[in-house]
Amino acid sequence: MRKFTLRPLLVVAGALLLMAAVAASAKADVIAYFNFEDAANGNPPDFTSEADQGLGVATTITTNYAANGMTTIALSVVPPNNRLPGDIDNPPNGLHGLGLSRSGANSPADFDIPLFSAQGIFQDMTVSFAVNAAGNGFTLATLWYSVNGGVTFINSGNSMVIPNSGFLIVSLPVPVAANNAPLLVLRIELTGGQSNGGNLQDAIDNILIGGTIVPEPTTVAGGLLGILGLCWHQRRRLLGLVRLRRA
């Protein structure tokens, strides 16, 4: 009879351990982060993510923007500029950013971020970045997404107006339809460019994709097998204790 009553206890304990393992498999995280700090002033922008700092996955932005309208610029932005606190090569006020000119000739401007990762798939995402408008630049930022590796893109319906001057943090939620897509690409599209001049019109800094990283099923399965093994081991120990008490 004691042996029979012990089994439900073991089942409940095992179920709780499995639930804890599954809950721990999904956590809020930095999915991708770009700070534009790895290029010198006046040089072509560095579009690689900061995965070398452990800040998100390794990925690279691609764009249709003409090379003669983009450059790395020095920043003197005093307000918060979407910088991650853990960013070791970007001081609080920023050093470098992406400078955009000739906005009229490059509208719409697409900045595509592939999120193909061996770490898993992504959920509950938001794309944000800082804009410092110097005048006659882009007027609207819109988020698009692709679930087939960039072959086709879908308008998320989420956009923010960019002022003609001043500082703004753009924050665009990613639709749930993009969750768990193994071939996900996010696109920041800037439209309404107003000038073809070579003077700086917009400065972009610290593009951040935040959300939840969900490990691949093989990773979760391995963890669950480990938990099951632990449950079986504890079952043998508990049965041993019951036998000792009977003796």
DSSP 15-66: HHHHHHHHHHT-EEEEEEEE---SS-TTSPP--B-SGGGTSS---B-EE---
pTM of structure: 0.79
Residue 25 has pLDDT above 50, yes or no: no
Residue 223 has pLDDT above 50, yes or no: no
Structure tokens at 211: 């959300």
Contact 68, 102 (CB under 8 A): yes
Residue 5 identity (one-letter amino acid) = T
Span 2-17, pLDDT tens digits? 444 445 444 444 444 4
Q: How many helices (H) and strands (E) does the chain have?
A: 2, 11
What's the pLDDT at 234?
A: 57
What's the pLDDT at 13?
A: 47
What's the pLDDT at 219?
A: 41
What's the pLDDT at 90?
A: 81
Structure tokens at 75: 């920043």
Among left, alpha and beta (phi > 0; psi -120 to 50; other), residue 118 is: alpha
Please state, rounded to an integer, the average pLDDT across all residues of the chain: 82
Q: What angle do CA 147, 179, 210 make, to 5 degrees?
A: 110
Span 126-176, pLDDT tens digits? 999 999 998 899 999 999 999 999 999 999 999 999 999 999 999 999 999
How far is Cα 113 from Cα 44, in angstroms, rounded to an integer? 18
The closest of 54, 71, 62, 17 to 204, measured between CA atoms, is 71
Q: 71 or 227: whose pLDDT is higher?
A: 71
Structure tokens at 86: 């853990």
Q: In which band, very low, low, confident or very high, does the pLDDT at 247 lie, cut at 50, 70 and 90? A: low
Q: In which band, very low, low, confident or very high, does the pLDDT at 95 lie, cut at 50, 70 and 90? A: confident
Residue 24 has pLDDT above 80, yes or no: no
Residues 6+ apart with CB under 8 A from 44: 67, 70, 71, 72
What's the pLDDT at 28?
A: 76
How far is Cα 128 from Cα 236, in angstroms, rounded to an integer? 52
End-to-end CA distance of the chain: 15
Give the pLDDT mean for 180-209.
96
Domains of the chain as residue ranges with CATH: 37-216 (2.60.120.260)
Least confident of 13-17, 83-87, 116-120, 136-140: 13-17
